[in-house]
A and B are shown apart, each in its own frame.
Chain A
Amino acid sequence: MAGCTLTGALSVACFIPGAVTVVHAPHGCAHQTFSMLHAMMNDAETKITPEIMVSGLSDKDVIFGGEGCLRQALDRAAEKKPDLIIVVTSCVPETIGDDCRAVCQEHAYAKQILYIPTSGFLGGSAKDGENSALIGLAGLAEPAEPIPGTVAIIGEKNLESEVEENYAEVTRLLHLLDLTVTVRFCRNADVATLKKLGTASCFILRDDRSSDAGRELGKKFNRRVIREFPRGLSGAITFLRETGTACGISREKIDAAVSSENAWQEKKLAGFSKLRGKSVFLGAEPLEGIFAVAREAIERIGMTESPDGVEVKPPFYLPVGVSGTMKMLYLWRRRILHG
């Protein structure tokens, strides 16, 4: 996902039920950003209608200052009595020097306003916007004692089409370790849930896109951070070992989980026995690391890779664990066996 920080921040903020996001920006900025989000949400069949309001900075506000404009937008947002008002900013207020933090702090609804200074392109890329939003929202949660057996997932790609399938795969693996996800930070988690972030005994990042937030949050709450969802088949085993260790699970239990997972993987791969001996050609790699996952699957099934093989399409996103790998293999099987 490309774009300025607004796109990234909104891809996080839009998935908090009960929150209203105020975009302090000209109408066009918010429109462009949301159009992109809307298109991606449609693509991912996401059925939510996020509460987004725009301050609507005009030329007049650029000249005379946009603080009044933000104040009015906060007034309108507060009328809805949301659990939280998240304020994100475009490059315009940053350029003209609006003191947005002060406006937020002075507002009657201040206790429920969270200011995230994204600053449009001045704040960096969409990735930086995502991280800023995650770090900003983590400010809602107070440090707390970790509850054993719980984990929090941080930085799920809310606009990814496989987001729920990936989550299901991760929870399947966590279940093998008797671990429960208590907070999805931030996916369809209300403010009360987000405030419980500090109670999770370990944080699991979706991938290294959220590494800045992971670092900050790990430090703030003194928690171990697992840097990404499992990459393919062997990644699932690594994930079990790393997460189990981070959560203080006994060696015996982790080994048992790994044995169970190995058996599960063999069972699933058996469904592709007809592909044994077939030759495939992978073409171009859409994202670094995808070929490693694909090649592991090729080897485990007993296939070979050759420029003369049947051209198969590698997935656009890194396949998460067994389910992601299976999804890739289903497509390959149809292509190899049925053309």
Chain B
Amino acid sequence: MRQIALYGKGGIGKSTTSANLSAAFSEMNLDVMQIGCDPKHDSTRMLMHGRWIPTVLEQMYEHKELKTEDIIYHGFGNIRCVEAGGPEPGIGCAGRGIIATFQLLEKMDALFGDVVVYDVLGDVVCGGFAMPMRDGYAEEVYLVTSGELMSLYAANNICKAIARISERSSAKCRLGGVICNAKNMENERELVEEFAKRIGSRLVYYIPRSNSVRAAEVNCMTVIEHNPESEQAEVYRNCAKIILDNTDLRIPTPLALEELEELARNYL
């Protein structure tokens, strides 16, 4: 079983990338599970044709006896979709919610398949959001970033979390690489490529900006389902293939803030 986590700044396109990668994996006849680890609980919506599936946390506290069908829903390509869910903004502890979700999935023995994709909240703001990296869950982390400084800053912060977690002898979590979800900035690819190199990793794939993504989303589908013949669908397929073939997993070396800023300046 391959366990892959996508981390990155909020709004950078993790859920879109995750859903399209999951769709691409399923096209390869793989048994795929996607787990949204964000209180926004919209990770799997495109796989579920726009349906907001009940979240694990909602179900956990509304029903005493939970069955797997209460929290796992089948979407496009028979992908098993799960949304951890979480509290309303500004109240409670979303990090604890992620931990509780993993504990329940573990108890249900629900974590299985050829590929499990974890789509995690932007910043690793507390131990809860580092949960997918711990305890043998996500063994490969992919940083999704654009060339924007704040996006690189968030990616760098996630590297810090990976580096810290990797210090433990039992840790299996490693950085698989960086995915550039482009914003069509000048020198963006080169910048992200250099960033990946500096943190001791590599640019796994460059996803160009495309209107087909927007078109698919307004139709509540992934690009692979909505426009399977498009160039963008092929981009996601290629990215999925590269990830599947990737065996180059490393412990990253996060940059100092000054170095990160200098890097961004160099590619203006």
Contacts and interface: CB of A to CB of B under 8 A. Distances in A.
B16 to A, nearest CB: 26
A79 interface: no
Given A60-B61, A63-B57, A95 B93 contact: yes
B88 A63 contact: no
A64 interface: yes
Given A63-B96, A63-B100, 6 more contacts: A59-B100, A64-B88, A64-B91, A65-B88, A96-B93, A97-B92
Contact of A65 (B61, B87, B100): B87
A67 B57 CA distance: 18
A181 interface: no
B96 A65 contact: no
Interface of B: 57, 60-61, 86-88, 90-94, 96-97, 100
A24 to B, nearest CB: 14
25 contacts: A59-B96, A59-B100, A60-B60, A60-B61, A63-B92, A63-B93, A63-B94, A63-B97, A64-B57, A64-B86, A64-B87, A64-B88, A64-B91, A64-B97, A65-B87, A65-B88, A65-B91, A66-B92, A67-B91, A96-B91, A96-B93, A96-B96, A97-B91, A97-B92, A98-B91
B61 A62 contact: no
A62 B96 contact: yes
B36 to A, nearest CB: 16
A187 to B, nearest CB: 38
A67 B61 CA distance: 16
Contacts of B94: 63
Interface residues of A, number: 13
A69 to B, nearest CB: 11
A60 B100 CA distance: 9
A97 B92 CA distance: 7
A3 B92 CA distance: 26
A97 B57 CA distance: 19
Contacts of B60: 60
Contacts of A61: 92
A98 B88 CA distance: 13
A64 B100 contact: no
B214 to A, nearest CB: 33
A60 B94 CA distance: 11
A270 B57 CA distance: 75
Contacts of A60: 60-61
